[in-house]
Amino acid sequence: MQPFDGSMPPPEVAPGSATSVPGVHEGWRRRHPISPVINSIDIAYRSIRQLWPGLIVLVSFGVRIFALVAAAVAILLLAWTVIAHLRFQYRLSATELEVRSGVLTHNVRSLPVDRVQQVGMNQKLRHQVFGVVSVDVQSAGGAGSPEIELSVLTVPEGERIRSALNAARQRAATLDDTLVPGSPLPPPVVEVAPVLLFQQPTRALFKWSLANSPLLMFVVVAPLFTTAGGFVRERVGDRFPTGAVGVSIAVALLALIALVAATAVNMVRYHDLCLTQQGDELRLRYGLLTQQQTDVPRERIQVVTETITVPGRVAGVVGVTGHNASGSTGTDTTYLPAVPSADRVRVTELLAPGLALHASLRPHPR
């Protein structure tokens, strides 16, 4: 393959084509055809979480009216996501990742590959059902949110984007003065097998989850102070003795349910967390129902934070976070919530070799 020398503009590839022209950057690609369905589910879920009081009011007008309005909204939402899918295209060259999108307005976004901070691959339960993945590309100016989100791709395509971005970023870092916009992608990198650096012990995660669970009890207790509280009292109030004994039993049972539920949420969220290294890339993977994967170049980690909370002190674990160049807050982090205290120095050195962060986590002076 002869590199593009910039003497003439690269030939345009027909929109939607998944083929590449030899010697030129790849053609425009589309997301997976199931994208409108999954994106409609995502939008509906977020809308219900924010507009649930309006849904309650709508139900009060009758089931028939509610069903008609819900059907009309579903049709409009699906139509919108289908148009958005048809107008969304992306392509990757040796110098930039380009995205064209927009329904009422046309947006073109270009992200230089040398500005890529990390690439995340997420698989929620609905993605796992259809065998697809969401790819989030974080840049130096992303301010905690993905600069480019390729919401529904096949797993092989997501891995290809991740690998191609990594190869293009490395090439841009070493040949920055010789790269020409629109030059072809570098040849595929023969990736070595990932090396396991740290795997979060299940016992440490359980202790951390159990210690943190009381902080989440308000999720269960809060409905007792709302309209749902009256429903609960009417349905189960007569099942307990009256007076202080009944109240004590009800509170104890409620606390137990909240403790078990909150512990289960933490265990499912950070299930099988492991940190691996592949070349110069660190990869953090975790999650049971929603599988999260974050790839970040080790040299992009700027700050390492060690945090021990009151529940963490009880559980004997430390939270270790590696912040990349995008900032110290938001989603642009490598977070290990339950590192055993005996392993915290070793894990810190894995994230940032040579960083002498050996200060003890002592209680604050009186």
Distance, CA of 196 to CA of 176 (rounded, Å): 32
DSSP β-bridge partners for residue 29? 90
Task: Check: CB of residue 33 under 8 Å from CB of residue 18.
Answer: no
Distance, CA of 305 to CA of 286 (rounded, Å): 20
Distance, CA of 14 to CA of 12 (rounded, Å): 6
For 263, 318, 342, 361, the CA distances from 364, given in Å and listed in that order, are: 28, 16, 20, 9
The predicted pLDDT at position 17 comes to: 39
For 101, 164, 222, the CA distances from 93, given in Å and listed in that order, are: 18, 9, 51
The predicted pLDDT at position 145 comes to: 65
For 24, 100, 232, the CA distances from 29, given in Å and listed in that order, are: 14, 10, 52
CA angle 300, 358, 266 (to 5 degrees): 70
Distance, CA of 166 to CA of 281 (rounded, Å): 8
The token pair that represents 7 in the structure block: 């003497």
Spans of the chain, pLDDT less than 50? 1-24, 328-331
Please state, as a whole number, how many other Cβ atoms lie within 10 Å of the Cβ of residue 349.
Answer: 15
The predicted pLDDT at position 132 comes to: 92
For 14, 112, 156, 180, 312, the CA distances from 101, given in Å and listed in that order, are: 16, 18, 23, 25, 44
Q: Say which residue the tokens 């099942």 belong to.
A: 239
The predicted pLDDT at position 215 comes to: 55
What are the φ and ψ backbone dihedral angles of 242, each rounded to 5 degrees?
Answer: -80, 165
Distance, CA of 338 to CA of 267 (rounded, Å): 11
The predicted pLDDT at position 30 comes to: 92
